[in-house]
Amino acid sequence: MRTRQRGDEGQAFPIYIVMVAGLLFLAFAFFAVGKASALRNDSQAAADAAALAAAQKARADFGLGFLGSLPPNALDAFLGADFAPPCAEAQRLANANEADTTSCTPSSGYLRDLITVEVEGRDPVDSPVLPGSEDKVATAKATALIEFRCPNPTAVDADSNGSPEAFIFTCLSGDVITIATAEIGRPGLWESVSRTLFDVRLVDQ
């Protein structure tokens, strides 16, 4: 009887080894999937931050170009024009989140502009149970919207000489902004009105 028990134990040992090896493989696999998911989330956060930063910088850079276009015929052209996205700002924020921008693309429509930023993370999944993962990095994309919220500005031409003294913007938020023609170009003017005139937010694209 004792000999038979030892034989049973000897047969069970390889099964035990296989089971332990299988459990270890599953543990590594779950770890790899968890790491890949975490890296993907990190890359998405980097893409979101980069797109928002680029859009906010673009809004800040509109400045004199926008104010100089306030005569109604020029304003329409400005709001429908393409612009150069500040991709250096997008890369700065991506870099702060351990990622790099792979594309930074603007697209325009009347009263709204979009900046789409794609990034890739720097840390690979690098799992022994996932072939090719040593060079596999997470990628993500985000799009930020710059939207003009104060359409149809009213020109104030009190003396009817064809040269408005001011422009009044009634915004969708209910805010009313008056920009005197004489103040265009005044330092600090744009910073005080741009966040009301233009909304910046992430959108699905």
Average pLDDT over residues 152-178: 88
Query: For residues 132 and 52, which has the higher predicted lDDT (pLDDT)?
Result: 52
How confident is the prediction for the chain on average, in pLDDT? 82
What is residue 93's predicted lDDT score, i.e. its pLDDT?
93
Domain boundaries, the chain: 2-148
For residue 1, what pLDDT is reported? 46
The angle subtended at Cα 144 by Cα 105 and Cα 152, nearest 5°, is 105
CA-based nearest residue to 173, from 147, 203, 192: 147
d(CA 59, CA 194): 7
Segment 110-134, tens digit of pLDDT: 788 899 999 999 887 655 555 555 6
pLDDT band at 160 (very low <50, low <70, confident <90, very high): confident
Q: By the 8 A CB rule, do 22 and 59 touch?
A: no
Question: Looking at residue 41, what is its pLDDT?
Answer: 85
Better pLDDT: 37 or 145: 145
pTM beyond cutoff 0.85: no
Looking at the DSSP bridge assignments, the partners of residue 100 are 120
